[in-house]
Structure 1
Amino acid sequence: MKALLFDLDGTLADTDPLHLLAWQEVLRPYGLAVDPRFYRERISGRLNPEIVRDLLGLEGKEAEELIEAKEALFRRLARDLRPTPGLPALLRFAEERGLAWGVVTNAPRENARHVLEALGLRPPLLVLAEEVGRGKPDPLPYRVALERLGLPPEEALAFEDSPSGVRSAVGAGIPTVGLLTGHLEEDLRASGARVVVRDFCDFIKKFNYHQK
């Protein structure tokens, strides 16, 4: 293993409750009631344009304005973020062993910048789906990450919290760990996650155990 690749929302930090609140607010005028199950099944892990097209049939300027309002609200809510338990220790582990690491996300650039700054993180590699042309669950974002690192997929390890993200990483051939921050274990495993953990503390315990 030479690199760790992380999803952003729901993986580096538990931002899903904030995204849920933001979507509830902007979709309420359209008569849509967004509960946690609806969010998990219809929104989580998808690109914004796909979400508003699927839910509301919106495209063009109206869709862009709705997305902008939702993301602005999310950034106002996401001011005091904390990293997922165990993340600092895992990143120290990576640094001590000379492992590369990066973030691969469907999040818009402004959101990614905001979340990473709030967490005090500066990933050496940042791959944005909106810049590579296709988002998760398409494997392209992870393939781009591997290309930029100059690594084959078996030398990387991905961390994802959604079935969409897991399918993206697995589609690129990367062994993938699923985090139980928002989705069910059976859904993550059905999407191809090799291991499912509560958080990075749980992963570190299991990793250390298997190393003995």
Structure 2
Amino acid sequence: MLKALLFDLDGTLADTDPLHLLAWREVLAPYGLEVNEDFYRKRISGRLNPEIVKDLLGLEGEEARRLIEAKEARFRELALNLKPMPGLEELLEKARARGLTWGVVTNAPRENARHVLKALGLNPPLLVLAEEVGRGKPDPLPYRVALRHLGLTPREALAFEDSPSGVRSAVGAGIPTYALLTGHKEEALLEAGAWGVLQDFRKAMELL
């Protein structure tokens, strides 16, 4: 029996990817990197920041930390008037009415996660941050930690993601997972293991 909904944050609860793309474009431009939508989708989306800057620039340590902080500060400047994904509020209301709990499982840094949730007016009963559990998506660990906190089996939860990395994480933990088409193509999301794809959360009402 379904007991919990688990959500990714960026690109899932709100369409924040265009803002992340812009912030990355600005901080990487001085390094001669041009960040367009295809580059963002293939090299940045769904990954942890330290992995991104090491892969793209070979940076680690203090220089990497400064770059990441500059990027995230810029993102927070841009992310002031966020709107929840269509259908999200109705889905959460239906979940509450059915006695389901919910949580957020994200690769986002804590400050960003708090910022986005506050901007959306959301206060999830559970927040799992990849940076605090030791491994990020696509590793299944963040979702396994969420299940452990809730005391649930994988089939008692339903996950929503928006990237192949996130889908692989949730599916790797054994959780049925649906993917939103906010930034990646249907084929890539299904290939990663998504049970289905959604334009937004209005169709997700049928899953409860």
Question: What are the residue-to-residue correspondences of 1:56-205 with 2, within 5 Å?
Answer: 56-204=57-205
Provide the residue aligned with 2:28 in structure 1.
Answer: 27
Provide the residue aligned with 2:207 in structure 1.
Answer: 207
Provide the residue aligned with 1:3 in structure 2.
Answer: 4
Secondary structure of 1:81's counterpart equals coil
- Partners of 2:118 and 2:179 lie apart in 1 by 24
Query: Which residue identity does 1:153 align to in structure 2?
Result: P
The Cα of 1:195 is off from its aligned counterpart by 1.2
The Cα of 1:202 is off from its aligned counterpart by 2.5
> How many aligned positions are there?
207
- Partners of 1:128 and 1:27 lie apart in 2 by 25
Q: Percent identity?
A: 76
- Partners of 2:45 and 2:60 lie apart in 1 by 19
Query: Which residue identity does 2:184 align to in structure 1?
Result: H
Provide the residue aligned with 1:15 in structure 2.
Answer: 16
Gap regions ≥5 residues in structure 1: none
Gap regions ≥5 residues in structure 2: none
- TM-score, structure 1 as length reference: 0.97
Deviations 1:144-181 (A, max 9, x none): 00000000001100000000000000000000001001
Deviations 1:62-109 (A, max 9, x none): 000000000000000000000000000000011000001000000000
- Partners of 1:152 and 1:100 lie apart in 2 by 14
Q: CA RMSD in A?
A: 0.7
